[in-house]
Chain A
C-alpha cells in the first residue's frame, strides 16, 4: 500500500487517509506483535525468555520429545477430527431440517439448536462435568475411546456453527433444481447427494474449518471434561504456563500457530477469501 496517495482522494476512500492507515496499522501491530514475539523467542537460546541469546532449535526438539506434550497434541487433533466429522453431519441435517420443513414447535427447536453458541463456555463445561459424573461415564477406556467424553462435548458446541453456516448457504438454493431433478426421476437420496450437497459444499468446507479450529482451540469445556489420562493440547499448555514459562511452550505454540495458518490457507485455496469472510 503506497502510504502517500498520488491521485487525489475521492470522498469515500476513507482507507486512503493517513490517520486511518495509521489506525489500522496500529491495530494490526497490536494483534500480531505478541504472536510474532512468541514465535521469534521460540528460537531463543535462553531458559528465561527475555533476552536474545542466539538462535537455536533445541526447544523444538525438547517439545517434540516431551511425550506428554506430543500425546496431548495427538489427542487434540484426534478430537478435532472426530468432532468436525460429527458436527458436519449433525449440523447439516439440522440446517436442512430447519430450512426445508414446517413442523410443530419449530421456533423452540430453532432456538434450542443455536443455544449452545450463546450459553457461556464455563456453564457448558460445568454441565458436562456434572452430566458425565451423573451417568457414570467410564473413564478407563483405551485410546481413542477414552476421548469420547471430550469429543461429545466438542460436538455439542461445534455443530450449531455448522448449522448456521450451512443454513445461510441453503437460503440461496433454487428449489426448482430439486424439482427438475425429481421430474427427471431422481430419488430423494439422489437429489440430496447430487443436487443439494454440491450446492452447500462451500458452506461445508467453511463449517468444517470453523468446527476444527473451535475444537482445537477449546480450553474451558475440555478442562472440565478431561481426566488425568485425557489431556489435550490447550490443557497441557495451560498447566505448563501456570507452573513455569519456558521456551518449550513457545516452540509448541509456534507449531500450532503454523498449523492454524496452513489450515486457513488451504481453506482459502479451496474457497477464496471472500467466501470465508462471508461466513462470519
Chain B
C-alpha cells in the first residue's frame, strides 16, 4: 500500500511525528550522547569531569583484565544461548504440533514466567539452589540412596553428605541466565515453526527420511530465520545481564555489566564506565550487523 508523502499532509505528519521525535531526541539520543562524550573525558576531582578528548578510557579497556571480562561475558552468553536453543527447540516443536486445544495453554505456560518479575524469579532460584534449598536436599537424597545401594552389595557406605555450594559460582550464573532467558528463545522459535509448510515435512517422511533426519535437513533450515532471531533475542540480553551475575555469581563470575555498574556506584569513575558502556553497545551493533548479513544470503541464492 502506498505511503503518503509527508509534504501532502503536513499538519497530520507534524501531529504524529513531533511528540515521538521530541521524546527520542530529548530522552534517548541526548542521554546517549552525554555518555559518548563522557567516555572521552577524565576525572578532575570528585565530581568534576573534564571532556578533554582523551582516549585513555578506551586504552584502559584493552587491559588484560577487562578483555578477559568481555571474553568471559561473551562465552557465558553464548553458552546460555546454546543451552536455551537445545532445551527450547523441542518445546517449540511440541507447541507447534500440539492440538488446537492445548497450544494456547502451552504458550501461556511459557509466557507467564516471561511476564513475572525478573528479580522475583532470580530470588526464587536462589532459594532453591541455596545450601539449605531443595536442590541440595535432592542431591543429598540421591547420595544417601547411592550409599545404601553400596552397603547392599557389601561395600563401604559413602561418607556423609555435605551440602554443596550451588550458588555464588559460574554454574549458578549460567543456570540462572538459562532460567530467565528460556522464554525469549522459545517464543521466536515457535513463531518460525508455526509458519512452516507441513507438507514438506510429510513429504520428507513419506520419502523415507527418519524423524531426526527430517528435523535436521528440513525443519532446521526452513526455520533458520526464527532460530537466528531466537539466538539474537537471547544472546543480547544475556550479554548485558546485570542482576543474575550480581546476585547468583561469585567474585570470579563478574560480567561486563557488573564492571560497568561498579564504575558508577563504587569506583566513581564515570568516564571509564561510559567507555565500557559504549564498547558494549558497539558489540551489540556488530552482532546485529552479522545477523543482517546472514539474512541477506538466501536472497542472493
Q: Which residues of A are in contact with B by a Cβ distance under 8 Å? A: 1, 11-15, 20-21, 23-24, 27-28, 30-35, 37-38, 41, 48-50, 89-90, 93-94, 96-97, 99-103, 109, 112-113, 115-116, 118-124, 126-131, 134, 152-153, 155-156, 159, 175, 188, 213, 216-217, 219-220, 224, 233-234, 237-238, 241-242, 245, 249-250, 253, 256-257, 260-261, 263-264, 268, 272-274, 276-277, 280
Contact = CB atoms under 8 A, between A and B. Distances in A.
Which has the most chain A C-beta neighbours within 10 Å: B31, B88, B205, B243? B31
A137 to B, nearest CB: 11
Interface string B229-246: 000000011011011000
A37 B134 contact: yes
Contact of A34 (B102, B179, B277): B179
Q: Is the interface of A mostly helix, strand, loop or mixed?
A: helix
B108 A273 contact: yes
Contacts of A113: 20, 24
Contact of B35 (A93, A96, A127): A127
A237 to B, nearest CB: 5
Contacts of B5: 101-103
B133 A50 contact: yes
A130 B35 contact: yes
B191 interface: yes
A102 B120 CA distance: 44
Nearest to A86: B23
Given A37-B128, A97-B17, A122 B277 contact: yes
Contact of B24 (A32, A37, A112): A112
Contacts of A249: 123
Interface residues of B, number: 96
A171 B242 CA distance: 36
A120 B240 contact: yes
A93 B34 contact: no
11 contacts: A12-B202, A15-B97, A34-B124, A101-B5, A112-B29, A113-B24, A119-B281, A122-B280, A123-B281, A220-B243, A277-B107
Contacts of B98: 15
Contact of A241 (B24, B126, B211, B277): B126
Contacts of B87: 27
Contacts of A134: 34
Interface stretch (B62-70, B147-155, B220-228, B256-264): B256-264
Given A15-B95, A237-B123, 9 more contacts: A31-B183, A34-B179, A130-B270, A131-B34, A234-B119, A277-B104, A277-B111, A280-B111, A280-B187
Nearest to A176: B1
Contacts of B187: 277, 280
Contacts of B97: 12-15
A35, A48, A96, A216, most chain B CB atoms within 10 A: A35
Contact of B120 (A90, A257, A280): A257
A24 B179 contact: no
Contact of A126 (B17, B133, B274): B274
Interface in B110-133: 110-113, 115-121, 123-128, 130, 132-133
A109 B28 CA distance: 13
B130 to A, nearest CB: 8
Nearest to A122: B257
A4 to B, nearest CB: 16
Contacts of A48: 132
B135 to A, nearest CB: 10
A126 B35 contact: yes
B300 interface: no
Interface centre among A24, A128, A238 (most CB of B within 10 A): A24
Contact of B117 (A14, A20, A234): A234
Given A156-B28, A280-B111, A90 B123 contact: no
B16 interface: yes
A161 to B, nearest CB: 13
B82 interface: no
A217 B3 CA distance: 37
Given A14-B94, A122-B257, A123-B35, A238 B119 contact: yes
A33 B129 CA distance: 12
